[in-house]
Structure 1
Amino acid sequence: MPVRKILVPLAGRPMDGEVLATALSVARDFEAQLVALFARPDPTEALPYLGDGVSGQVIEDLMQAAREGANEAASRIRASLAAAAAEAGIPVAERGGEAQLPSVRFVDVTGRRDEVVAKHSRLSDLIVFGESATGIAGGTALEAAMMTADRPVLLAPKKAWSPVGGSVCIGWDDSPEASSAVIAALPFLEKARNVTILCVGGKELDPGPGSTLADYLALHGVVADVHLVDAGSRAVGEVLLEHAEQAKADLLVMGGYGHSRLREFLIGGVTQHVRAHATIPVLMAH
């Protein structure tokens, strides 16, 4: 499926420009529209937590401060989007005007961020996330896009990446999640200069699944090399990132949350490790 709509949830933070630059690079390569999404907090949702002893004036002052803070964040996003689009030479789409590709658009929606991102992700081809306030790429909104809306996500680490997908590594374990990621990444794979399939496991790793994936990609005109990697006692996520970086890849493709989110959160896992430590763009799907 072609990439025509790229959703970028933003919060008006200083690193928005770098995330937008990476997403705009993808939008330009695929002639897609980038939609910058601001989930505006609803100040009335905080009212039940204020208690009965808070005066009406205090409540009004707090709500006004929240509205002003949201307005300032929206203004910062608009400014970052306009600057990034101008630098990339991509026009801003006018509401109700003729569809232009590539182009950018700003959407301001009031509601809980996870719910807003999940809703708008459903009719998006790719959702791009930068680092969250917690240091984990995308925060809980990423899980909403990938798990609730069932859409592929792209992690954009702290720098502007261009191109994305010139050299691609695939973390392949023959799982349904990895298969979903490969299917979602086909537009990137078909454009890539080189593709490497990384099968990470023990010394007795079966070469069959990697070869099967290489045969499948060949039907799409993608020539891929298969590398069997003995992880030893090291974490799979660590090994994947290390080999992708050594290959000078600018995109790692992998399945996300092969285990439950609760298990990943409590004891760690490949998805959590990559989200916390990725230094190159990563495309994930569930």
Structure 2
Amino acid sequence: MKQVSKILLPLSSARNAEAAFVSGANFARRFSAHLAVLHVRSDGRDIAPLAGEGLTGGMVEELIASAEKEGGKRSREVQHAFEDFASRTPDIEAVPPRIPFPQGRPSMSFNVIKGAESEVVPWHARLSDFTLVPHPDSGDEVSSSEALHAVLFDSGRPVVIAPRIPLPHFVKRVCIAWNGTAEAASALRGVLAWASTSERVRVLHCEDYQRRGPDAREVVDYLSMHGIAADRQEFQAIDRDIGKGLLGACQDFGADMLAMGAYSHSRLRQLILGGVTRHVLENNTQLVLMSR
């Protein structure tokens, strides 16, 4: 059964766009799917209610004009990056951003929509099979990525975080981080499209990571019902850090992709105190599929 037909790729800027384009193109090829590249351009008028007291009407208009100018510049940079990549990728057809998209062959489109990224991106993500998010340059930005958290918390769909350096090949080895939670179950369902065509699949579990719910042995049995042969491996925390131990186990396996539930604890707690989700977001070198 075909499990992926549409992939959403929101780009707020051209930074790290190339790595995301390469990952998205590989996904489009693998699934003969459509890669929908979306840039949300902020509306300069939205800053008017945020302007502080004491600003004159002329000052507010100047702020709006400056925001519009910056937004236009960023939109042009993203569009240029898309057009440049499309010109170097002739095997993926560039088409207008409207349905129907070509069936049975990979395609891609580019669309600019004016509005708030936190609203527009999850709206489009809800009617996409998954959303691919570029990897920001710094850990602080990863933790606060608007598109990433908008999709995770408000779309009902999985998100894939692209690595800084794209894979030179299709996903061959998949790791599934399992702790028995509903979030992990959602990620498990989301990764089936890759696991079903990968060379090897491994379920990673840790006693300190496990919550109330099914155990790793049951996950292996579940995967077998989908025709997926998987093994399981227990990992240990490194320096009392479960996230570090998880990524170490992925590296030992040579994983191209890690699937995991996100924010089993509250996002605020993870941002303040740290956590497995935050550690993986800030340190991953492979594709990471997250869901909650």
- TM exceeds 0.5? yes
Deviations 1:184-218 (A, max 9, x none): 1101000100011111225x999x82221111111
2:145 is aligned with what amino acid? Answer: G
Match of 1:128 among 111, 114, 132: 132
C-alpha separation in 2, matches of 1:163 and 1:110: 35
Tell me the equivalent position of 2:96.
94
Task: State the shift of 1:97 in Å.
Answer: 7.2
Task: State the shift of 1:14 in Å.
Answer: 2.7
2:94 is aligned with what amino acid? Answer: V
1:145 aligned onto 2:155 = no
8 Å Cα contact 1:8/1:36 also seen in 2: yes
Q: Structure 1 pair 196/97, CA: closer, same or farther in 2 (3 Å)?
A: closer
C-alpha separation in 2, matches of 1:209 and 1:168: 18
C-alpha separation in 2, matches of 1:67 and 1:249: 43
SS in 2 for 1:46: helix
- Identity level (%): 31
C-alpha separation in 1, matches of 2:143 and 2:196: 26
C-alpha separation in 1, matches of 2:211 and 2:124: 40
Aligned residues: 285
Task: State the shift of 1:50 in Å.
Answer: 3.0
SS in 1 for 2:205: strand
Deviations 1:47-103 (A, max 9, x none): 133345444444333323322222221122122122223333211112557521411
- What is the RMSD of the two structures over their aligned residues, measured on CA atoms? 2.5
Gaps of 5+ in 1: none
SS in 2 for 1:13: coil
Tell me the equivalent position of 1:274.
280
Match of 1:160 among 161, 166, 170: 166
Matches within 5 A, 1:110-259: 110-132=114-136, 134-136=140-142, 139-201=145-207, 209-231=215-237, 234-259=240-265
C-alpha separation in 1, matches of 2:282 and 2:197: 28
Gaps of 5+ in 2: none
Q: Structure 1 pair 15/232, CA: closer, same or farther in 2 (3 Å)?
A: closer
Task: State the shift of 1:19 in Å.
Answer: 1.2
Q: Structure 1 pair 227/32, CA: closer, same or farther in 2 (3 Å)?
A: same
8 Å Cα contact 1:129/1:138 also seen in 2: no
C-alpha separation in 2, matches of 1:256 and 1:104: 28
C-alpha separation in 2, matches of 1:269 and 1:94: 41
C-alpha separation in 1, matches of 2:35 and 2:262: 23
Structure 1 stretches of 4+ with a deviation exceeding 6 A read none
C-alpha separation in 1, matches of 2:26 and 2:231: 26
Task: State the shift of 1:164 in Å.
Answer: 4.5
